[in-house]
Structure 1
């Protein structure tokens, strides 16, 4: 959605299906003559001359972006013949993401989503913190009392995982907590609450995507050898930029034990390269050529 709303379109419109209608992929492609993207099966694109239009579908929510508003209006009329549609207008809010436009670019945040998480956890009046977790904190699957019911912890970590879409500063901490979903303990829940207090103190954090971006990819890679105290597996992490605009990050524990730091670095490099190839495929789906070599730093 970042790519759709940022560099490749002049207008964007969100459509919401009324009632219990669900978009059928076959019906959508046949009715609109769009092709499914290779990088994402929920994305459909169509190019006619200088006109480009893309549709992003999530259950009963549709995001349409294009550089041709006449094509958007025609598509909306066509979809309205097949489904009952509700049109909120220009994109401002989509699946928990708040979108703000300016001549300089586009900003994304999840402020409303943050408030909802804090309210559900009962931490709206808690003291805000300036960093998510304490330095060198040790979490283990065997230390601490088991939670009487894991549902609250699982729901909270799931919400935080979705929050990392616009908060890469939470990615590493939330990834560590997600490793204890099976049998969460009291220390794990306390760390999750601390992350929420950090979220409260950093409501102003948001992504900003510059309008004059050159769309050249680069990625920064890091790893932590044998960081897991339970099985000695290493952790890989990376973040991807389109020129100066941050677009993605990931932190994940490696699947096998690496024998050395060098082996850990190579596995992180391989994992990042796979995701870079996916990004290049996505750019190709948008008819954007990427002639520059991707930098891995």
Structure 2
């Protein structure tokens, strides 16, 4: 069976029989192949080589800007090379590190400050930061904030972007860990920032979802409507988290994994 990823331009194909499960993840011409049988994996690679021109790069180490490091403790995902290139592009390699990605005050607004001299640069860097959240959930909220001003960035918005970059320099060695575990329970945490945007009084929903002890999905996103109370904002956040949990539950069923 095969289906398209819900959040990326990827295709996932699943092969299952009585004793073997194999997964093929495809993005354009880059492919990850894994499964429960080394023998079946090698047979499939040989079948690919007989039909297509391809190169077997061995164990997974790098995929779409994401570095994968194997250890006895599990798999560690990071984007250190990607973040370093981003710091070089913005001339922030020598910037002073900082321990938080966003200041609590003053609150960002659409009308404060002066227009930023290079809106294209702002959009490019913010877009790159969005991709960095693939392995850095700790910057999701801050990146979501600066994304709101892509249409007309001001100098204070650029200062907020630079603060995120300074934080990434401080936490350059942070990685996302995926460790083996016997428990496959799904746990979800959600929260809401009520009326956090002074321009339109909309709230922000956030959630973090764990499979066992591994973080597998997270989000920080502005709500589509104005919530008239903090309770309403919280319920909307819970609804968003529940929808994601439901999707993950069905995905695990497709993969033949039992979870509660």
Shorter-chain TM band: over 0.9
Match of 1:170 in 2: 139
Equivalent of 2:19 in 23, 42, 50: 50
Residue 246 of structure 1 aligns with which residue? Answer: 215
Moved over 4 A (4+): 38-41
1:138 to partner: Cα distance: 1.0
- What corresponds to 2:189 in structure 1? 220
1:75 corresponds to 2:75? no
Shift of 1:61: 0.6
SS in 1 for 2:56: strand
Cα contact 2:207–2:219 (8 A) shared by 1: yes
- Aligned runs of 1:1-297 on 2, under 5 Å? 35-37=1-3, 40=6, 42-290=11-259, 292=260
Query: Do the aligned partners of 1:145 and 1:186 also contact (CA within 8 Å) in 2?
Result: yes
SS of equivalent to 2:166 = helix
**Counterpart secondary structure, 1:108:** strand
| Distance in 2, Cα, partners of 1:192 & 1:91 | 32
Deviations 1:83-117 (A, max 9, x none): 21122110011111111112221111111111111
Deviation at 1:163, TM superposition (A): 0.6
**TM-score, structure 1 normalization:** 0.83
User: In structure 2, do the counterparts of structure 1 residues 184 and 37 end up closer, same or farther at CA, with 3 Å as the change threshold?
Assistant: same
Q: Structure 1 CA distance, aligned partners of 2:214 and 2:160?
A: 30
Residue 194 of structure 1: how far off its partner (Å): 1.2
- C-alpha distance in 1 between matches for 2:162 and 2:182: 37
**Residues 184 and 84 of structure 1, relative CA distance in 2, 3 Å threshold:** same
8 Å contact 1:39–1:278 — kept in the other structure?
A: no
Residues 263-291 of structure 1: per-residue CA shift (max 9 Å, x gap)? 1111111111111111112211211012x
Q: In structure 1, list runs of 5 or more residues that go unmatched.
A: 1-34, 293-297
Give the 3 Å change call, closer, same or farther, for CA 184–213 of structure 1 in structure 2: farther
Taking the aligned partners of 1:269 and 1:263, their CA distance within structure 2 comes to 10
SS of 2:58's partner is strand
CA distance in 1, matches of 2:169, 2:182: 31
1:227 and 1:95 map into 2 onto residues whose CA distance is 33
User: Please, what TM-score do these two structures have when normalized by structure 2?
Assistant: 0.95
Pick 1 or 2: higher relative contact order, CA cutoff 8 A, min separation 6. 1
Supply the distance in 1 between the matched residues of 2:112 and 2:221 (Cα, whole angstroms): 22
The root-mean-square deviation of aligned C-alpha atoms, in Å, is 1.4
What SS does structure 2 have at the residue aligned with 1:53? strand
Rounded Cα–Cα distance in structure 1 between residues aligned with 2:188 and 2:218? 9
Per-residue CA deviation, residues 19-78 of structure 1 (Å, 9 max, x unaligned), is: xxxxxxxxxxxxxxxx11376561110002111101111111111111111111111122
1:14 is matched with none
Q: 1:158 to 1:38 in 2, by over 3 A?
A: closer
Q: CA deviation at 1:197?
A: 0.8
